[in-house]
Amino acid sequence: MKRFFTICLVAIFCASTGFAKQEPITEYINIKGTLKQDYGQAPQGATVNIKMVLKVSESKQYKRGVYYLADLEGQQILIPKDDLDYIELDKPQNLSDFWQQIYLTYHFYEQQAEQEKPNDLRLEVEAESQEYLEHLNEIAYEDAYTASYVQSVLAKLCGPNVTTNRNGNLNTFVIQSPEPTSFMLPSGNIIVSTGLLCTLDSEAELAAILASEIGHYLYDHQVTNVHRATQRAQRALFWADVFSSVAYNYGVDFYYDGDWRNLGASFVADMGTIISLLCVPVINRLGMNYSNSQEQEADKLACRILSFTGYSEDALTSALRKIRDYYLRNRRQENILRYNSIEDLQKRIEGKPDPVPAPTDRPYLKNTYDLINFNADLNYRAALYQETIMLTEKNIANRLADCQTYIILVRAKMALDNTETVNNECLSLLEKAKEISQGFPNPDVCKQRILLLMRMQKQSKALTELHDYIDILTTYKKQRPADKEERIWIDKEMNWAQLMIKRINKI
């Protein structure tokens, strides 16, 4: 119906003006405003209703270019693109109004029309993006609730109003990675890491990062940054190297074989795969090596989006500072995924006022506490023990710690230090974990106590715990007789416990 109305509108206007050719850039739109000053025969304050963006061929009356078909005081006229400044646009009443105004004032309508034309470079970049996205499934964070929540924040920002070149809509994709990163693929997929969701403290900060990525997409920065000269010649070779490499940049291979049974995702990814897929060459290859001016351009648009959708503009500065602080803590200055360097991050922050401390966003923290446990475990297995401790203590400070939080914290503390004070502290933490279990025997707590008691040379207590551990495993096996994977795990733990008992008996 909208398409039919658009055709009729153009046909009526063409018939009344006798133009040779008008090419609609948009379907019917409805952007209202008033004249800032006299315009032609219309006085200042006259109402204007822009209904369409057109590309007009040159004629006796008009030069070739982009025009706005508008209703001005009941008369259908064409307003040249350069005369848009004569119009004071009305305050948008809803998200659709807002995005129509954004597309109009930033000239995204014209840009989108150009993008829809066949273009070898664009097609190649989008094809690479889709291929890359398929491989990112290997490190997907497979938790439906988290995926739905992140997508819901994106929906608040743009709804169905920002479309991709494939006539779809923007969407988010959550991946496993300790690094706090987010980036927009040229195909319209926003990649969000578990590390980012754990680093941020509010939905407003997440919205700010997403809004900035939307800005890059609308400005078409990715395709602008891709060099066509190297595109065709090296495409196959480049991606073959990435997808076949165990660890593209680092040359290491170690596996996250953590106990995923108590974590939010269905599996924990291979760290070599994470490093291979999330590396600076890949980011640069897909045009995301943004210049400082491009970052500033996207950030300014992001602030407009945040302001209209009810989020604080300060949230962007706050989020970028937390991302910067992560890399400073981990002594990373250069070759930072997506953000290039600490210096570049700092340039984005400089000049912006210090953000006003925001109230605690309890709903956001509740939505991400499970992610914090998961990412704490990722950091632990990457030997980033301080980062692990910081994440678990965040859950504890926010009164959102569960049994797994304390277990991961104990593991990190034990990996960092072996003193009487730390060991006793770890025993106390495991007691808290046991309390949270509310009387239900927890095999993970029991096993961690065994390891800790053996470290503390308390063999008799460890022996008692080992027998308790075997009893717990036996009960657990009876409760889940049909679960093959659980039986394999239980048998493995039973064998371990029996070996420990023999070892202690020999002392």
| pLDDT tens-digit series, residues 85-107 | 999 999 999 999 999 999 999 99
* Domain assignment of residue 20, yes or no: yes
Last residue of a domain, one of 349, 375, 405: 349
pLDDT recorded at residue 300: 95
Confirm whether 125 is domain-assigned: yes
Is the residue at 191 inside a domain?
yes
Same domain (yes/no): 129, 240:
yes
Does one domain contain both 62 and 106?
yes
pLDDT value for 489: 87
Q: Are residues 73 and 127 in the same domain?
A: no
Residue 368 lies in a domain: no
Do 152 and 209 share a structural domain? yes
Q: Is residue 96 part of a domain?
A: no
Residues 105 and 153 in one domain: no
- Specify whether 194 is located in the same domain as 331: yes
Domain contains 490: yes
Q: Are residues 342 and 214 part of one domain?
A: yes
Kindly state whether residues 237 and 194 are assigned to the same domain: yes
425: domain CATH number is 1.25.40
User: pLDDT tens, position by position, for the chain (507 residues)?
Assistant: 455 444 455 544 554 445 547 889 888 999 999 999 999 889 999 999 999 999 888 676 778 889 999 999 889 999 999 999 999 999 999 999 999 999 999 999 888 777 766 677 788 888 888 889 999 999 999 999 999 999 999 999 999 999 876 667 899 999 999 999 999 998 899 999 999 999 999 999 999 999 999 999 999 998 888 865 455 556 767 777 777 764 444 333 332 334 444 444 547 787 788 888 898 888 888 889 899 999 999 999 999 999 999 999 999 999 999 999 999 998 899 889 999 899 999 999 987 778 888 888 999 999 999 999 999 999 998 899 999 999 999 999 999 999 999 999 999 999 999 999 999 999 999 999 999 987 678 899 999 999 999 999 999 999 999 999 999 888 888 887 767 788 888 889 999 999 999 988 876
Same domain, residue pair 340 and 420: no
- Of 313, 311, 114, the C-alpha closest to 220 is 114
Q: Which domain holds residue 111?
A: 2-90+101-115
Q: What percent helix, strand, coil does the chain show, rounded to 5?
A: 60, 10, 30
Which residue, among 195, 197, 149, 145, has the nearest Cα to 375 in the 3D structure?
195
Q: What is the pLDDT of residue 145?
A: 95
Query: Are 84 and 129 part of one and the same domain?
Result: no
Same domain, 160 and 189: yes
Residue 361 lies inside a defined structural domain of this protein:
no
Domain tally, the chain: 3
- Note whether residue 219 is domain-resident: yes
Q: Which of 82, 115, 148 is the last residue of a domain?
A: 115
Return phi, psi of residue 35, to 5°. Answer: -75, 135
Per-residue model confidence (pLDDT) at position 47:
94
